[in-house]
Amino acid sequence: MGTKTGRYAMLEQFLADGMHYMFGNPGTSEEGFLDALGDYPELKYILTLQESVAVMAADGYARATQKPALVQLHSTPGLGNAIGALYQAKRGHSPLVVIGGDAGIRYQAMDAQMAGDLVAMAAPVTKWATMVMDAASLLRVLRRAIKIAATPPMGPVYVCVPLDILDAPAVETVQPTLIPSTQCLPDEALLQTAATLLVAAKTPMIFVGDGIAFANAQDELTRLAEQLGAEVWGVDAGELNMSHTHPLYQGATGHMFGYQSLPILTKGDVNLVCGTYLLPEVFPELGHIFAANAKTIHIDLDMDSIAKNYPVDLGMIGNPKLTLARLATLLDLMMTTEQREQAQLRRLAIAAEKESKRSHAIAMDQAKREETPLHFSRVAAELALQLPEDSIIFDEALTCSPALTRYLPPSQPGHYFLTRGGSLGVAIPGAIGLQLAHPDKTVVAITGDGGAMYTIQTLWSAARHKINAKFIICNNRSYRLLQLNVLAYWRDRQLPQRDYPLSFDLSQPELHFDELARSQGVAGIRVERPDAIAPAIRQALDHQGPFLIDVVLEGDVRPEMVGLRCGQ
């Protein structure tokens, strides 16, 4: 081989950092780099047919392993294709290390084909973006990027490595990247103050995000919530931060309209926020969000999240696992017998109300169990009967999520992943990443028809790499979430309800996802009747390799109008 060049040193750096998969789509400026992969069989290349698929598959892998995942992108057009997926990864704090190609530093004055300011393109959708300008700093920059991606708040980084850097002699030594420890506690006096506030609360409320899961603090959160008798709400959460089966877990605040979250946020007299910021809705509340005179405590490793949009009374930088554990210990020492009894009464009342709502929802499901077109609650109930207990689910079908979690309530960390960030098409590629991280587990992606069409070519990659994931398409022939959102818009603006815009209608021409799957080498079946659901799930689970179920659900669509008013 002679003198080792940058392209070989890069691959050895990735292996030194425990990276064994690279998700990508090749381009001309990375040919030498990808050719060198042949000399490192322990680093496997997962070929995708579009850059957003590569990013989303890596996102799933990073979420499953809680470690940096490696992505390779082509130059300007390739990075452009990946922008939306990178935004998704940034919003979800996914530690992706994205390596981008470029023809070479020596050509940058030429405005040549595919020239562009790659760093400026990547900067808004990454935690850090840079270009390696000298071969003597190639590995230094890569280690810095890996450290930044993996340090809270985690997020994607972009490193452009021009071709002349890849071909230059490597002069640095490969060594593993040091990830700084975040095992830190706030000042004890501040913790005492926080505990004093919480002990005195009559209606304590807890709001949590994925900082809980990233710190593996689910047990500590649960213990503290039980001590207080506090409702626990997820905010901007895609991971499992508390078991959905726990009586105190109440679900998520609104993600679209701020006014939908206000009744929840104004309930408490003492609010504890941990591992998230308030409040990441599309149309957030611009005024006050807490009750008058309520006290708010905010704990996070991300300094920017604390008091980001709304004032808090006490903000503390600290590891959620350590900090919540210390708070729980302080509460044990400080709570009186009467306060413990009041907390127990709150726990019982919250549990009773939650069970009442669940029982009512199940009764409603039973009333429409045999209807056609199908309701997803019937599908969820059948999944609950057949899926192995340690199955891993990637849930992107937001309008079906309530039914899914009603029958398959997530309870194990690392076994349920919810879409986050707003991009469509994440579940199918995300499931590939989950399955590569857990080849011995059953992985199921659940997505809608609209979302599936964003990244349907992912099925080809699943077949090529023999990914054993299962895919369920909730085919309601519409952008259902947009229909629900426009209903809220009409109500908010006091406008009369009318037919949904035809731009939300996907019914004409009809999409057959089972046929799309088979055309890419993936077995598939279409389900339209209640009695066909259970056999289809059984067939999917018994099948060795990827399998898709196209479930035709009820939907408010007007295919007869598409030809008449297709330009609406």
Burial of 154 per CB tally in 10 Å (0-12, 13-18, 19+): buried
The helix (run of H) or strand (run of E) holding residue 361 is helix 337-367
Cα distances (Å, whole numbers) of residue 374 to 398, 481, 544, 552: 17, 18, 27, 7
Contact 532, 474 (CB under 8 A): no
Ramachandran sector of residue 411 (left: φ over 0; alpha: ψ -120 to 50; beta: rest): alpha
Global pTM reads: 0.97
Tokens for 391?
């199955």
State the Cα–Cα distance between residues 55 and 63, nearest whole angstrom.
Answer: 12
Tokens for 197?
């506030």
Tokens for 12?
């050895």
Tokens for 245?
């089966």
DSSP for 77-101 reads: HHHHHHHHHHHHHHHTT--EEEEEE
In sequence order, which residues have a C-beta less than 8 Å from that of residue 545 and are 6 or more positions away?
A: 463, 466, 467, 468, 522, 523
Q: Is 310 helix (H, G, I), strand (E, B) or coil?
A: coil
Q: What amino acid is encoded at 255 in this protein?
A: H
Ramachandran sector of residue 422 (left: φ over 0; alpha: ψ -120 to 50; beta: rest): left
- CB neighbourhood size of 421 (10 A): 20
Beta bridge partners of 21: 44
pLDDT for the residue 492: 86
pLDDT for the residue 107: 87
State the Cα–Cα distance between residues 148 and 532, nearest whole angstrom.
Answer: 49
Q: Is 63 helix (H, G, I), strand (E, B) or coil?
A: helix
- CB neighbourhood size of 299 (10 A): 27
State the Cα–Cα distance between residues 408 and 416, nearest whole angstrom.
Answer: 10
| Alpha-helical runs (H) found in 438-557 | 449-454, 458-464, 480-492, 513-518, 533-542
- CB neighbourhood size of 14 (10 A): 23
Q: How far from the centroid of its chain's Cα atoms is residue 201's Cα? A: 33
Tokens for 426?
């994440």
Tokens for 446?
């659940």
Tokens for 228?
């207080």
Q: What are phi and psi of 485, to 5 degrees?
A: -70, -35
The helix (run of H) or strand (run of E) holding residue 525 is strand 523-527
In sequence order, which residues have a C-beta less than 8 Å from that of residue 410 and are 6 or more positions away?
A: 240, 243, 244, 393, 416
Characterize the bridge pairing of strands 314-317 and 295-300.
parallel
Query: For each of the chain's 568 residues, which pLDDT tens digit applies?
Result: 458 999 999 999 999 999 999 999 999 888 888 999 999 999 999 999 999 999 999 999 999 999 999 999 999 999 999 999 999 999 999 999 999 999 888 888 888 888 899 999 999 999 999 999 999 999 999 999 999 999 999 999 999 999 999 999 999 999 999 999 999 999 999 999 999 999 999 999 999 999 999 999 999 999 999 999 999 999 989 999 999 999 999 999 988 888 889 999 999 999 999 999 998 888 899 999 999 999 999 999 999 999 999 999 999 999 999 999 999 999 999 999 999 999 999 999 999 999 999 999 999 999 999 999 999 999 999 999 999 999 999 999 999 999 999 999 999 999 999 998 888 999 999 999 999 999 999 999 999 999 999 999 999 999 999 999 999 999 999 999 999 999 988 988 999 999 999 999 999 999 999 999 999 999 999 999 999 999 999 999 999 999 999 999 999 999 999 876 655 5
Quick one: CA torsion of 323, 273, 250, 389, rounded to 10 degrees? -40
Contact 257, 488 (CB under 8 A): yes
* Nearest Cα to Cα of residue 477 among 514, 505, 454, 499: 505
Characterize the bridge pairing of strands 69-73 and 96-102.
parallel
State the Cα–Cα distance between residues 444 and 416, nearest whole angstrom.
Answer: 10
